[in-house]
Amino acid sequence: MILLPFNNQCIEAEFIQRYKRFSIEVSFRGKTLWAHTNNTGSMLGLLRPGQKVWLSRAKNPNRKLPYTLELVRIHDMWVGVNTLTPNRILKKAWEMNHIPELESFDHFSSEVTYGDSRFDTCVSNKDTKLWIEAKNVTLVEDDVAAFPDAITTRGQKHLQTLTQMRQSGLNTALFFLVQRSDAQCFAPADYVDPQYAKLFYAAISEGVQIWVYQANISQSGIGLGDMLPVIYKRF
């Protein structure tokens, strides 16, 4: 089932180059244009000249870059690179009861703060709250989905804060959305950011919940697939 449909104003183009993280140049019907990308990661192994990309058109007609990068085609699959998608999927899946871990919560808040940190979501009911940080996963090596694809001090801080919150008795979780179809399991990318991996396993040992779901992706839209197992290691 598609939870986030793409509208009919999307276009398929060819990637040319990336410029300063937030914009890409593409070729469309013999002309070049620039599009926005909100993915600040490296998008390791994805952006190569000539690859097909799927762009959505902004609702704001006055936006400087009218298109946003949504998907990248590699081999025979589309990979979702929009980092807002996990948050949107999480909320839609909660509304439609597609995530069992969220079924007991009747209130959903986005962009919530705790101390000096901001988290994507806080769900609650009359008895408790659950703080959730959502991450987009586009890196896969040897069938293992991995996060992050670049060193992330922000991600490290989120893990430390979630762990500290859990130690103080609060409920916390990490939601990873794997936006590609060739992963069989998940692990933190210790070969990219060993400190993040160390903090990830420390968070698990303190009781931070880890939810890894695979997305179903097409040019029609994005849905939520199965949960993937997590590979556990000790540091």
At residue 160, does pLDDT exceed 80?
A: yes
- Mean pLDDT calculated for residue range 87-113: 94
Do 168 and 123 belong together in one domain?
yes
Do 75 and 104 belong together in one domain?
no
Looking at residue 55, what is its pLDDT? 98
The pLDDT tens digits for 184-230 are 999 999 999 999 999 999 999 999 999 999 999 999 999 999 999 99
CATH code, domain with 25 = 2.40.50.580
Quick one: residue 93, left, alpha or beta (phi over 0 = left, psi -120 to 50 = alpha)? alpha
Rounded CA separation 231/114 (Å)? 29
Q: How many domains does the chain have?
A: 2
Do 207 and 149 belong together in one domain?
yes
Looking at residue 234, what is its pLDDT? 56
Average pLDDT, the chain: 94
91, part of any domain: yes
Do 59 and 96 belong together in one domain?
no
Asked if 54 contacts 10 with a C-beta cutoff of 8 angstroms, the reply is yes
The label of the residue with tokens 């509208």 reads 7
232, part of any domain: no
At residue 179, does pLDDT exceed 90?
A: yes
The pLDDT tens digits for 1-24 are 899 999 999 999 999 999 888 999
CATH code, domain with 173 = 3.40.1350.60
Looking at residue 170, what is its pLDDT? 96
List the domain range (segments joined by +) for residue 141. 85-227
Dihedral sign (CA 183, 184, 188, 191): negative
DSSP SS3 for 157? helix
Domain boundary among 80, 107, 140: 80
Q: How confident is the model at residue 111 (pLDDT cuts 50, 70, 90)?
A: very high
- Give the residue from 75, 98, 89 showing the smallest Cα distance to 180: 75
Domain boundary among 80, 110, 127: 80
The pLDDT tens digits for 35-91 are 999 998 888 788 899 999 999 998 888 889 999 999 999 989 999 999 999 999 999
Instruction: Convert 11-79 into a string of H (helix), E (strand) and C (coil).
Output: EEEEEEEEECCCEEEEEECCEEEEEECCCCCCCCCCCCCCCEEEEEECCCCCCCCCEEEEEEEECCEEE
Do 95 and 145 belong together in one domain?
yes
Distance set, CA 90 to CA 50, 120, 187 (Å): 32, 10, 20
First vs last C-alpha separation in the chain: 39
Q: Please tell me whether the overall predicted TM-score, pTM, comes out greater than 0.85 for this model.
A: yes
Quick one: residue 75, left, alpha or beta (phi over 0 = left, psi -120 to 50 = alpha)? left
- Mean pLDDT calculated for residue range 149-176: 95
